[in-house]
Amino acid sequence: MIKLDRVTFRKLLAPFAAVLAFMSGSVAFVNDVSGFQKLLCKAPGLNSLCGANGWGGVPSEEQDRVWQAALKREDGEGLRTYLRRFPRGAYAQEAQARLAGCRTGEVEIWAREDKRLPMYVGFSANPSPGEAAARAEALARARRSGEGLCVAYSSEEFRLASAEPAPRTWKCEGGPAGRNCGFEGEVICHVEARRIDVKEICKP
């Protein structure tokens, strides 16, 4: 039987002790014993590795991208998307806190709409030198009268933006004094209509 002195025994035991220490450290890191991950993930060389694997509360680039997209939204859908993808992510607690503060409120929205009214434009008392000029003169009169017709859409529920005449049937006549034109058609009232929408609001 070979007898080993204490120094020789320690030299033989050293490799096994190193392996055991490495294994213990690995177990502690994976299971995050006593915050071991956060401690090691602060090291510059391990920071990116931790972020890619979600260790130590370090967010990955994908987490950051999804989180920033969530912060840009007024509702909570982005926050819920983040929590579905990263339930234990670096921003999970903040996402839950923001969702808890969400509220439902009414938002006033003005939506663009077109309202159409029938329109008739007769001949002018002053003929024009040609048909093109006569039609242009009739359209100018139609715009002025169209604004008067569309004024019905200036109220608390509507805001009038503009009035646009839309001829369907032209009638022009000529004589020694020139040409005269009128038409039947409609006026298009370009308006903004007031709407009340119910939305989730999660902005702090």
What is the structure's pLDDT at 115? 94
Q: Which residues of the chain have pLDDT under 70?
A: 1-57, 204
What is the structure's pLDDT at 137? 96
What is the structure's pLDDT at 34? 45
Note the pLDDT tens digit of each residue in 90-148: 999 999 999 999 998 888 889 999 999 999 999 998 999 999 999 999 999 999 999 99
**What is the rounded distance in angstroms from the CA atom of residue 53 to the CA atom of residue 129?**
82
What is the structure's pLDDT at 23? 47
This prediction's pTM: 0.48
What is the structure's pLDDT at 24? 47
**What is the rounded distance in angstroms from the CA atom of residue 111 to the CA atom of residue 113?**
6
